[in-house]
């Protein structure tokens, strides 16, 4: 029981981190069809801005100010660059965000240098809240968990319960009709892009101090967020949440299992020659392949259900 | 107007190239191939700066062979193995006879292989590889080559040093091995298994894990849980970068008390990214050739390190670039020429002033041998570490020295030597 509870809880913690990272991306992709390669860069900017702001006026103001600045930056990127590129089609957009990724990385290196910066968890959240199975849980981890749940609830209700959300959803599928009804569709897109970037920024503020704030963080986080949004279904916030937690629990469970195919083979009474190539393969434990499981899930999902768990159109 | 402008530009280019060739004739060039862009650029740039400092120091003391200067020319490999080869081709075309590199053993391996072929096919144009930090043991074992010299201790030697320190602590009974799943991490793991069995049979290995390397793992909590469950009192790890910082952070956040025995987890960049509280929660023990707060550090080295800090605005981290450049200069003097083959023979068996007694280049396999210092991160230090003016508020404290004898391991190298 203890083990199950523990795995579920750790998986949830990790899953919510993934959700924060990917919710903005799925929103942007779902609404605008833009596969934003620079999404993780906005996440990185969030961490760096939070570092800079918290150095002067503290962590709590940084929590609000950094995502706002990044949201504004994102909106400007959409208004002055992406919108112009948009008319040349998806490939141009893709290449644009790809270039943006490198530009942001270089800018960050120019401003903050190439070594990690000292962005740390604030003192008043840096204590052990409770222990489970001999492991202490930091108050900051709980804080992150609460914020991310709040983020999901807020995002979900805005999109489904408010008028603005209604317009956003309508603009997604029927932009021309929404425009003829007198709504400013480009402005809606700009706001959605800004909001998506702000969410990535918020994730950066919250995760930068535990993951380490350095110029390569965007690069190393890039792939996993795409897995989440494809598995969850493009554009679905609910899907992103379920996929994040699923991947979180899957990975946490897998890491704790030191079982290999060889164990099963030995269990039924066979042995495989240690020297053979097969041995290397079947001797891999589940914990060793844990980090590739999300990608395996991605491939399986694309084969079996290309629209993802909650998506309503194919990739 | 425009034509005039073009003329001026052309003229200045010609003049510039003349002045370059004039200068180049005299200097002895070392091509340094390191990452100057990309995710690990900071490491490459700092190392290049260090080598430039030592070249400048030697040049200011009169250079070599009665006034010839040593020149460091930096090439960017962006941490991509194929780019290392591209840059190396450029170096070969420019007839530079010395190459130095250290970040990333896969890059070093490319250089060793490419130069191996080049040197065999181009007698009289050999290029010598001064390896300052690439530590994969096989370079001085089965892959050894006359034109490769390693000035850093290899993985096996570093692990041997860590284990001999672990032997001094009777409280260490259960060790957990956690390493990155690629050439370097695997060779750390193999060395740790072998040397623990040989030299510290009282210590039980309670966990042995290879993880996906290079910052791909975001959440180390499940690993910390496994370590907790195993009852380990010590983690022996070769991890570096985010893989080390996140592991140590997760361990501290979950209040797990263990010792970390490491090679690179305590490097300055990692120290700053973790912060004082996490860096000192558990003892982070590392092995290097010297550090600034060591009481036994000789005065002449203190002087050089102070000059380095004034030059680069950084605390010194390693000493191997210093003795590599000193030995290189001395070998040229001894050989009486800057020919790589002659310099190679001069370097074989050479002894030099190390940070702690004598250091020597073993002739059999071209592996440098020196005493190594074991230290841990602490805030209770005389000089805290500074980097570009930023004070990290902590540095290293000596736990003990490991004699070069204890980390001298047999080699399997069967070297083919050129005819001298």
**What pLDDT score was predicted for residue B20?**
47
The answer, for A83 touching chain B at a CB cutoff of 8 Å, is no
In a domain, A265, yes or no: no
pLDDT digits 0-9 by tens, A46-85: 999 999 999 999 999 999 999 999 999 999 999 999 989 9
The mean pLDDT of chain A is 87
> Looking at residues B381-395, what average pLDDT do you find?
90
Beta pairing partners, A213: A117
Contacts of B268 in chain A (CB under 8 A): 115
In a domain, A212, yes or no: yes
The answer, for A6 touching chain B at a CB cutoff of 8 Å, is yes
Residue ranges covered by each domain of chain B: 25-153+303-369, 161-288
CATH of B161-288, one of 1.10.287.180, 3.10.105.10, 1.10.510.10, 3.40.50.2300: 3.40.50.2300
- Band of residue B13 on the pLDDT scale cut at 50, 70, 90: low
In a domain, A292, yes or no: no
How many independent structural domains does chain A possess?
A: 1
Among A59, A216, A257, the residue to mutate for chain B (most B Cβ within 10 A) = A216
- Band of residue B283 on the pLDDT scale cut at 50, 70, 90: very high
pLDDT digits 0-9 by tens, B23-38: 445 799 999 999 998 7
> Looking at residues B66-91, what average pLDDT do you find?
94
> Looking at residues B97-116, what average pLDDT do you find?
94
Give the domain extent around A87: 2-220
Q: Helix, strand, or coil here: B99?
A: strand
Q: Which fold has domain B25-153+303-369?
A: Rossmann fold (3.40.50)
> Looking at residues B150-163, what average pLDDT do you find?
95
CB contacts under 8 A, B 261-300 vs A, are 268-270, 272-275, 277-278
**What pLDDT score was predicted for residue B23?**
46
Whether the Cβ atoms of residue B315 and residue B386 lie closer than 8 Å to each other: yes
**What pLDDT score was predicted for residue A279?**
66
- Band of residue B105 on the pLDDT scale cut at 50, 70, 90: confident
Whether the Cβ atoms of residue B188 and residue B238 lie closer than 8 Å to each other: yes
In a domain, A262, yes or no: no
Question: In this model, does residue B419 exceed pLDDT 90?
Answer: no
**What pLDDT score was predicted for residue A173?**
73
- Band of residue B94 on the pLDDT scale cut at 50, 70, 90: very high
Chain A residue with minimal CA distance to B223?
A255
**What pLDDT score was predicted for residue B84?**
95
The mean pLDDT of chain B is 90
**What pLDDT score was predicted for residue B12?**
58
- Predicted TM-score (pTM) of the model is 0.86
**What pLDDT score was predicted for residue B372?**
95
Angstroms from A183 CA to nearest CA on chain B: 41
**What pLDDT score was predicted for residue B24?**
47
Q: Which of A26-35, B148-157, B201-210, B217-226 has the lowest mean pLDDT?
A: A26-35
> Considering chain B, what percentage of its residues have pLDDT values greater than 70?
94
In a domain, A76, yes or no: yes
**What pLDDT score was predicted for residue A108?**
93
> Considering chain A, what percentage of its residues have pLDDT values greater than 70?
95
Question: In this model, does residue A198 exceed pLDDT 80?
Answer: yes
Among B35, B182, B219, the residue to mutate for chain A (most A Cβ within 10 A) = B219
Q: Which of A18, A210, A215 lies nearest to residue B39, judging by beta carbons?
A: A215
Beta strands in B17-66 (DSSP E): 28-34
**What pLDDT score was predicted for residue A175?**
77
Interface contact flag, B245 A116, Cβ < 8 Å: yes
pLDDT digits 0-9 by tens, B336-357: 999 999 999 999 999 999 999 9
**What pLDDT score was predicted for residue B3?**
59
> Looking at residues A108-134, what average pLDDT do you find?
87
Whether the Cβ atoms of residue B161 and residue B407 lie closer than 8 Å to each other: yes
Question: In this model, does residue B10 exceed pLDDT 70?
Answer: no
In a domain, A300, yes or no: no
Whether the Cβ atoms of residue B318 and residue B324 lie closer than 8 Å to each other: no
Chain A residue with minimal CA distance to B254?
A136
Q: What distance separates the 2 farthest-apart alpha carbons in chain A?
A: 73
Angstroms from A147 CA to nearest CA on chain B: 18
Question: In this model, does residue A205 exceed pLDDT 50?
Answer: yes
pLDDT digits 0-9 by tens, A255-303: 887 777 777 777 777 766 666 666 667 777 788 788 888 999 999 999 9
Whether the Cβ atoms of residue B223 and residue B250 lie closer than 8 Å to each other: yes
Q: Tell me whether the CATH fold assigned to B25-153+303-369 matches the one assigned to B161-288.
A: yes
Chain B residue with minimal CA distance to A211?
B246
Q: DSSP string of B195-237?
A: HHHHH-TTSEEEEEEEE--TT-----HHHHHHHHHHT-SEEEE
Please report the ipTM that was assigned to this predicted complex: 0.85
Interface contact flag, A256 B226, Cβ < 8 Å: yes
In a domain, A242, yes or no: no
**3-state helix/strand/coil string of A80-112:** HHHHHHHCCCHHHHHHHHHHHHHHHHHHHHHHH
Which of A122-136, B19-33, B360-374 holds the top average pLDDT? Answer: B360-374
Beta pairing partners, B124: none
> Looking at residues B249-261, what average pLDDT do you find?
94
In a domain, A73, yes or no: yes
**What pLDDT score was predicted for residue B22?**
44
- Band of residue B16 on the pLDDT scale cut at 50, 70, 90: low
pLDDT digits 0-9 by tens, A209-246: 988 898 888 888 888 888 999 999 888 889 999 999 99
Interatomic CA distance for residues B76 and B38, integer angstroms = 10
Angstroms from B82 CA to nearest CA on chain A: 19
Whether the Cβ atoms of residue B256 and residue B227 lie closer than 8 Å to each other: yes
């Amino acid at each position: 029981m203890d083990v199950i509870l523990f795995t579920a809880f750790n998986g949830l913690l990790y899953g919510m981190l993934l959700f924060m990272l990917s919710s903005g991306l799925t929103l942007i992709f779902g609404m605008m069809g833009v596969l934003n390669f620079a999404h993780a860069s906005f996440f990185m900017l969030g961490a760096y801005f939070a570092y800079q702001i918290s150095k002067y006026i503290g962590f709590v103001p940084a929590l609000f100010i950094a995502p706002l600045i990044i949201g504004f930056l994102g909106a400007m990127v959409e208004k002055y660059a992406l919108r112009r590129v948009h008319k040349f089609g998806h490939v141009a957009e893709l290449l644009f965000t790809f270039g943006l990724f490198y530009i942001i990385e270089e800018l960050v290196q120019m401003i903050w240098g190439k070594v990690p910066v000292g962005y740390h968890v604030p003192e008043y959240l840096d204590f052990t809240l409770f222990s489970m199975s001999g492991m202490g849980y930091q108050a900051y981890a709980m804080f992150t968990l609460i914020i991310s749940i709040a983020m999901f609830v807020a995002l979900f209700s805005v999109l489904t319960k408010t008028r603005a959300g209604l317009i956003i959803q309508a603009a997604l599928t029927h932009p021309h009709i929404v425009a003829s009804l007198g709504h400013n569709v480009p402005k809606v897109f700009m706001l959605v892009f800004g909001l998506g970037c702000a969410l990535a920024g918020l994730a950066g503020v919250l995760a930068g101090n535990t993951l380490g704030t350095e110029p390569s963080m965007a690069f190393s986080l890039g792939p996993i967020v795409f897995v989440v949004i494809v598995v969850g279904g493009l554009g679905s916030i609910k899907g992103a949440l379920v996929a994040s937690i699923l991947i979180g629990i899957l990975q946490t469970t897998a890491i704790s299992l030191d079982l290999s195919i060889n164990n099963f083979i030995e269990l039924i009474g066979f042995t495989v020659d240690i020297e053979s190539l097969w041995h290397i393969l079947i001797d891999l434990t589940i914990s060793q392949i844990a980090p590739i499981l999300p990608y395996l899930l991605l491939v399986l999902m694309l084969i079996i259900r290309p629209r993802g768990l909650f998506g309503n159109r194919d990739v | 107007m425009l034509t005039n402008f073009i003329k001026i530009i052309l003229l200045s280019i010609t003049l510039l190239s003349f002045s370059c060739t004039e200068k180049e004739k005299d200097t002895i060039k070392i091509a340094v191939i390191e990452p100057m862009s990309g995710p690990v650029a900071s490491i490459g740039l700092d190392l290049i700066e260090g080598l430039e400092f030592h070249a400048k120091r030697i040049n200011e003391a009169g250079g070599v062979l009665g006034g010839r200067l040593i020149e460091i020319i930096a090439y960017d490999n962006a941490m991509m193995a194929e780019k290392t080869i591209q840059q190396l081709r450029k170096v070969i075309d420019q007839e530079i006879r010395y190459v130095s590199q250290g970040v990333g053993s896969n890059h070093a391996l490319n250089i060793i292989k490419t130069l191996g072929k080049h040197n065999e096919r181009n007698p009289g144009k050999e290029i010598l590889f001064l390896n300052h930090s690439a530590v994969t043991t096989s370079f001085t074992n089965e892959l050894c080559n006359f034109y490769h010299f390693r000035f850093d201790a290899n993985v096996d030697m570093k692990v041997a040093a860590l284990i001999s320190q672990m032997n001094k602590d009777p409280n260490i009974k259960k060790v957990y091995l956690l390493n990155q799943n690629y050439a370097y991490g695997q060779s750390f793991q193999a060395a740790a298994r072998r040397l623990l069995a040989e030299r510290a049979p009282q210590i039980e290995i309670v966990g042995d894990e290879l993880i996906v390397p290079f910052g791909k793992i975001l959440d180390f909590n499940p690993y910390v849980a496994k370590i907790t469950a195993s009852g380990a009192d010590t983690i022996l790890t070769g991890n570096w970068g985010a893989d080390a910082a996140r592991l140590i952070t997760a361990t501290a956040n979950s209040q797990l008390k263990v010792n970390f025995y490491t090679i690179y987890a305590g490097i300055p960049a990692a120290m700053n990214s973790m912060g004082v509280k996490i860096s000192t929660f558990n003892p982070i023990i590392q092995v290097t050739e010297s550090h600034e707060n060591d009481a036994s550090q000789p005065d002449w080295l203190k002087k050089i390190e102070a000059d380095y800090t004034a030059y680069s605005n950084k605390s010194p981290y390693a000493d191997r670039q210093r003795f590599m450049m000193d030995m290189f200069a001395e070998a040229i003097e001894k050989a009486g020429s800057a020919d790589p083959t002659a310099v190679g023979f001069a370097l074989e068996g050479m002894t030099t002033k190390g940070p702690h007694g004598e250091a020597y280049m073993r002739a059999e396999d071209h592996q440098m041998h020196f005493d190594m210092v074991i230290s841990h991160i602490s805030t209770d230090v005389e000089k805290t570490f500074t980097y570009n003016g930023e004070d990290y508020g902590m540095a290293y404290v000596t736990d003990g020295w490991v004699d070069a004898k204890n980390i001298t391991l047999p080699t399997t190298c069967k070297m083919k030597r050129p005819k001298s």
